[in-house]
């Protein structure tokens, strides 16, 4: 079971909003499905790695350099705006990389159990925003085709 409150570090930037949204959407019983847990864990790990690179956090998630947002604002609105834009770009890049990690962690479309896990992962990925509705629909259709092929393969084994 995940304890997000102990593991999250506060940076006062976009990742905090991301953490709140992500943790509201993640329903703990979902993690009873190991394939979904693996996909989500890959997603979270890669997102944090990318954001840690941007924020200058070390491997323990602690800031190596404390960012003083109020001080940045006093230095000038342009500097503050540039930092916000940099954080937004870093967050966008991190989300893309995390989405790719989620995709790589998807189970193969072979075997009845894997196909069911694939469907669960894609559905959860759609909730998290990893897949667009169009992309998710195509992936679910691929699962449907694989399921049909698997059932035909199973029937042919019974007949022989």
Q: Specify whether 24 is located in the same domain as 68.
A: yes
Determine the distance from the C-alpha atom of residue 94 to the mean position of all C-alpha atoms in its chain, rounded to a whole number: 9
pLDDT of residue 3: 40
3-state helix, strand, coil in the chain (%, to 5): 75, 0, 20
Mean pLDDT by 10 residues, the chain (160 residues): 41 56 57 89 93 72 50 64 79 92 96 96 95 97 96 76
Structure tokens, 71: 């001080």
Domain count, the chain: 2
pLDDT digits (tens, 9 = 90+) for 47-89: 999 888 887 765 555 554 445 555 555 556 777 777 777 788 8
The closest of 111, 105, 101 to 38, measured between CA atoms, is 105
Among 86, 105, 124, the domain boundary falls at 105
How many beta carbons lie within 10 A of that of residue 136, not counting itself? 16
pLDDT of residue 66: 47
Q: Specify whether 99 is located in the same domain as 155.
A: no
Q: Specify whether 101 is located in the same domain as 113.
A: no
pTM of the model: 0.65
Domain of residue 57, residue span: 12-105
pLDDT of residue 10: 43
Contact call for residues 98 and 36 (beta carbons, < 8 A): no
């Amino acid at each position: 079971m995940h304890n997000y409150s102990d593991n999250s570090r506060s940076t006062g930037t976009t990742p905090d909003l991301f953490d709140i949204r992500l943790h509201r959407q993640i329903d703990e019983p979902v993690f009873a499905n190991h394939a979904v847990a693996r996909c989500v864990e890959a997603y979270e790990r890669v997102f944090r790695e990318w954001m840690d690179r941007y924020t200058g956090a070390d491997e323990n998630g602690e800031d190596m350099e404390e960012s003083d947002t109020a001080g940045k604002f006093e230095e000038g609105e342009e500097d503050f705006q540039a930092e916000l834009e940099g954080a937004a770009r870093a967050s966008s890049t991190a989300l893309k990389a995390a989405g790719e990690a989620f995709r790589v962690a998807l189970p193969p479309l072979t075997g009845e159990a894997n196909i069911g896990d694939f469907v669960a992962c894609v559905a959860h990925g759609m909730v998290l925003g990893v897949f667009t509705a169009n992309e998710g629909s195509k992936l679910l259709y691929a699962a449907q085709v694989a399921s049909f092929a698997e059932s035909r393969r199973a029937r042919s084994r019974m007949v022989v």
